[in-house]
């Protein structure tokens, strides 16, 4: 069994990850580190784990083969600098801290960087919006078909903002409500452009991204469109071929909806053609394909396992 540990243990992504690692056939979860809850039962915070584990949150790290960082932006880098982590430990960082530039981490989007992830010891797991939007655009970038502006609206559930309380995650505000935030300036645009330029070094188009807060708990549903000189059939062929080796991405012309992917590590992509415009709809679970599921997918690749190991999850459709 491969030993694993988690830092940032009381948050939402950690909660999902603990569950996935406890079920994983090749992993033993050795510790869940917490600044705030050390000594308490993990199931006293992640109450859905009652009866599943006797683990307690720890204040110390022990030596493990894989360390997951489920820490806020800016805190993962700090954590690595403060803790003495055995050289050779595989690290998967779910925060933003190592996603851009020459950080020494491989950008952990398996549909883009599978071989590099397999040979890496440090992986920067992508952002949740970034995952949904990149999976919708990468096939076009590889063929250098992104020649016009890209227009994007994407709506996220409240868990995307983490477990901490804030005005915009307060039930009285979020319930029966809808709002836009960070229009044209969302922090995930950097990693999206970086990946598109990895496939098409000339890519320089605007990505006009309007993020929305939805009044549901989890999931991201994105709609993207751009003008493109391809028929629907040609576009379908291009997407199917790009994702031929991607077990979690499904491409279709049938209508998709959020409930088909929530609680799974899958991404559903739907294509439509309207005149010159190609419309791409993309749906993921922000906490799974957008975070902890993708982190396990990356771990599987790093360990030489089938990337789907421990990730055969069922959506709650009704
Ligand atoms: N939520 C999502 O959908 C999602 C998707 C993709 C990526 N991410 C990224 O993944 C990381 C974790 O996200 P999350 O949603 O799990 O966050 P979260 O629910 O806010 O949890 C973060 C945890 O980090 C720990 N922590 C350590 N130092 C901290 C500090 N100085 N301030 C606040 N918390 C601190 C806390 O746990 P302890 O008290 O137990 O130490 C806290 O529970 C973030 O970088 C986030 O951006 C999140």
Q: Which of 92, 112, 128, 278 is catalytic?
A: 128
CA–centroid distance, 5 to ligand 1, in Å, is: 15
The answer to whether position 174 is within a domain reads yes
Q: Whose CA is nearest to atom 1 of ligand 1?
A: 160
Predicted TM-score (pTM) of the model is 0.98
CA–centroid distance, 139 to ligand 1, in Å, is: 31
CA–centroid distance, 284 to ligand 1, in Å, is: 19
Residues 114 and 170 placed together within one structural domain of the fold: no
Residues 100 and 11 placed together within one structural domain of the fold: yes
Residues 134 and 275 placed together within one structural domain of the fold: yes
CATH number at residue 64: 3.40.50.720
CA distance 218 to 200: 32
User: In whole angstroms, how far apart are CA 273 and each of 51, 101, 120, 196, 210?
Assistant: 50, 35, 39, 22, 21
Q: Are 34 and 18 in contact (CB under 8 A)?
A: no
Residues 150 and 225 placed together within one structural domain of the fold: yes
Closest ligand 1 atom to Cα of 96: 45
Is-catalytic flag, 128?
yes
Q: Is the CB of 235 under 6 A from ligand 1?
A: no
pLDDT in tens, the chain (318 residues): 999 999 999 999 999 999 999 999 999 999 999 999 999 999 999 999 999 999 999 999 999 999 999 999 999 999 999 999 999 999 999 999 999 999 999 999 999 999 999 999 999 999 999 999 999 999 999 999 999 999 999 999 999 999 999 999 999 999 999 999 999 999 999 999 999 999 999 999 999 999 999 999 999 999 999 999 999 999 999 999 999 999 999 999 999 999 999 999 999 999 999 999 999 999 999 999 999 999 999 999 999 999 999 999 999 989
Beta-bridge mates of residue 267 = 249
Instruction: Tell me the pairing of strands 179-180 and 277-284.
Output: unpaired
Q: Is the CB of 8 under 6 A from ligand 1?
A: yes
Q: Are 220 and 160 in contact (CB under 8 A)?
A: yes
Nearest-Å Rg of the Cα atoms of the chain is 19
Closest ligand 1 atom to Cα of 160: 3
The answer to whether position 158 is within a domain reads yes
The answer to whether position 315 is within a domain reads no
- Residue 33 backbone dihedrals phi, psi, to 5 degrees: -85, 140
Residues 63 and 155 placed together within one structural domain of the fold: no
- The number of folded domains in the chain is 2
The answer to whether position 193 is within a domain reads yes
Neighbours of 15 (CB within 10 A): 24
The answer to whether position 269 is within a domain reads yes
Q: Is the CB of 36 under 6 A from ligand 1?
A: yes
CA–centroid distance, 69 to ligand 1, in Å, is: 9
Which residue range forms the structural domain that includes residue 206?
Answer: 128-284
Both structure tokens of 304 = 């030489």
């Amino acid at each position: 069994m491969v030993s694993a540990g988690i830092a940032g243990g009381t948050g939402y992504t950690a909660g999902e990850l603990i569950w996935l690692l406890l079920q994983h056939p090749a992993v033993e979860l050795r510790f869940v580190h917490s600044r705030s809850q050390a000594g308490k039962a993990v199931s006293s915070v992640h109450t859905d784990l009652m009866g599943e584990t006797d683990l307690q949150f720890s204040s110390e790290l022990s030596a493990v083969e894989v360390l997951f960082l489920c820490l806020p932006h800016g805190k993962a880098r700090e954590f690595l600098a403060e803790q003495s982590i055995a050289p050779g430990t595989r690290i998967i960082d779910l925060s933003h801290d190592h996603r851009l530039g020459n950080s020494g981490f491989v950008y952990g989007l398996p549909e883009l960087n599978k071989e590099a992830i397999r040979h890496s010891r440090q992986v920067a797991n992508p952002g949740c919006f970034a995952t949904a939007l990149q999976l919708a655009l990468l096939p076009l970038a590889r063929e250098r078909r992104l020649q016009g502006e890209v227009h994007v609206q994407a709506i996220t559930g409240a868990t995307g903002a983490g477990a901490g309380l804030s005005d915009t995650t307060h039930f009285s505000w979020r319930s029966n409500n809808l709002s836009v935030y960070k229009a044209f300036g969302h922090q995930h645009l950097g990693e999206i452009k970086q990946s598109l330029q990895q496939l098409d070094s000339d890519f320089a188009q605007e990505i006009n991204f309007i993020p929305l807060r939805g009044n549901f708990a989890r999931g991201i549903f994105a709609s993207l469109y751009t003008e493109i000189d391809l028929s629907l059939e040609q576009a379908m062929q291009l997407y199917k071929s790009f994702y031929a080796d991607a077990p979690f991405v499904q491409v279709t012309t049938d209508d998709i909806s959020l409930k088909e992917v929530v609680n799974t590590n899958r991404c559903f992509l739907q294509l439509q053609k309207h005149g010159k415009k190609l419309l791409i709809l993309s749906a993921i679970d922000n906490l799974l394909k957008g975070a902890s599921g993708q982190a396990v997918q990356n771990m599987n690749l790093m360990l030489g396992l089938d990337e789907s190991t421990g990730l055969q999850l069922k959506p709650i459709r009704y």
